[in-house]
Amino acid sequence: MTSSALLDAVDLSPRATAQAIYLPGRTGAPIGDHFHLFYLVGNPGCIAYYHSFLTLLQEKALSANGGISLSIYGETYPNYSDERKLATSPILGLRELIAYNCERLLGYARAQQSANGTDEPIKIILSGHSLGTYIGLEVLRWWQEAGSGSPAQKAINIVGYLGLWCTVTWISKSSSGQIAKRAFNIPYFLPGFCTLVEYLISPLPRSILFPLVSWFTGFPEDSAKVTYDFLKAKQGVRQALYLAHDEMNEINEDRWSDEIWGTAAKGRRGPKLVFHFGAVDHWVSSAWCAHRGSYSSC
């Protein structure tokens, strides 16, 4: 199945729902002063976890830069909500999810070009959290490798990248990743555990499951509701766990060129990359700091 078979049209109506968020920027700003932050969520892939953060981010950005406009767009990944099931309900692997987001970014940029009556490429800042930081670098590589004159570069001009709590190398060497990796290596663990979780959760009414989720996670009510809805989605738990399995196997060596990192001696340099890390993050491996310590702070 190709990624294009999974897509619906990108909707540019302003909203912040469980399925997507679109915060349009300042009206009347010249296209050259209008930036678009395309946000890639982590795993579980639910955009509603980030509504408050993205809304505040836009408010701060617009108040700090009077002449600049910033629009923000992000989506819930397929299968994490019953409203975003795919036509044949396949479970997406990491490579398929990367291809999906490349197509979504292209669709978003083309929708903006159409809405603004321009052929000029849309200025994009890629941003993401956790798994979304890895997907963002892969989207950046796809765009760079597409080449001048390609549909991607005719529609998209990636000018920056902002990674938050970045799981871009060796997630399986992090403290939580080591536990997950050992579990996934147990024969039949993944399908068996998915079936067990679904069996335990499906019969529980909201009056029981929601308080359990709030107590176990310690989340505020809005985030606990997002988690509850994800757990109740028909494919949500299975999608999250199968994707996590791919993360343990595929997020390992640094796979990006010096052009992307901005360290190439000659030739085209990539967009500016900014990485932010938490003081403690049990999904981030110290191997990142050992390898890229001169280009990031850990």
pTM: 0.92
The number of CA neighbours under 13 Å toward the Cβ of 273 is 23
Higher pLDDT, 199 or 4: 199
Instruction: Indicate whether 286 and 241 sit together in one domain.
Output: no
- Give the rounded percent of residues in the chain with a pLDDT score beyond 70: 89
205 — pLDDT class (breaks 50, 70, 90): very high
Instruction: Indicate whether 147 and 234 sit together in one domain.
Output: no
Instruction: Indicate whether 88 and 60 sit together in one domain.
Output: yes
Range in 11-20, 66-75, 199-208, 214-223 the model is least confident about: 66-75
pLDDT at 155: 97
Instruction: Indicate whether 149 and 221 sit together in one domain.
Output: no
pLDDT at 269: 62
Instruction: Indicate whether 182 and 117 sit together in one domain.
Output: no
- Adjacent-strand bridge partners of 273: 161
Q: In angstroms, how far is the first alpha carbon of the chain from the final one?
A: 39
pLDDT digits (tens, 9 = 90+) for 109-121: 999 999 999 999 9
Percentage helix, strand, coil for the chain under 3-state DSSP, each rounded to 5: 50, 15, 35
Range in 50-54, 104-108, 224-228, 275-279 the model is least confident about: 275-279
CA distances from 116 to 101, 102, 122, 143 (A): 22, 21, 10, 22
**Euclidean distance between CA atoms 283 and 286, whole angstroms:** 10
DSSP state letter for 33:
G
171 — pLDDT class (breaks 50, 70, 90): very high
Q: Into how many domains does the chain fold?
A: 2
Instruction: Indicate whether 129 and 73 sit together in one domain.
Output: yes
Instruction: Indicate whether 59 and 201 sit together in one domain.
Output: no
Contact present, 111 and 118 (Cβ < 8 Å): no
Q: Which string of DSSP letters, residue by residue, matches 190-217?
A: HHHHHHHHHHHHTT--HHHHHHHHHHHH
Domain span holding position 74: 3-171+251-295
C-beta atoms surrounding 112 within 10 Å: 24
Which CATH number covers residue 267?
3.40.50
Instruction: Indicate whether 220 and 132 sit together in one domain.
Output: no
* 8 torsion bin: left (phi>0), alpha (psi -120 to 50), beta (else): beta
Instruction: Indicate whether 198 and 260 sit together in one domain.
Output: no
Instruction: Indicate whether 238 and 156 sit together in one domain.
Output: no
Q: Identify the H or E element spanning 248.
A: helix 236-250
Pairing relationship of beta strands 20-23 and 34-40 according to DSSP bridges? unpaired
**Euclidean distance between CA atoms 118 and 250, whole angstroms:** 38
pLDDT at 282: 87
Instruction: Indicate whether 159 and 281 sit together in one domain.
Output: yes
Asked which of 249, 269, 285 is the last residue of a domain, the reply is 249
Residue 37 φ/ψ, nearest 5 degrees? -90, 115
Contact present, 250 and 98 (Cβ < 8 Å): no
76 — pLDDT class (breaks 50, 70, 90): very high
**Euclidean distance between CA atoms 170 and 172, whole angstroms:** 5
Instruction: Indicate whether 52 and 180 sit together in one domain.
Output: no
pLDDT at 297: 44
- Give the rounded percent of residues in the chain with a pLDDT score beyond 90: 73
pLDDT digits (tens, 9 = 90+) for 228-287: 999 999 999 999 999 999 999 999 988 888 778 875 555 556 789 999 988 788 888 776
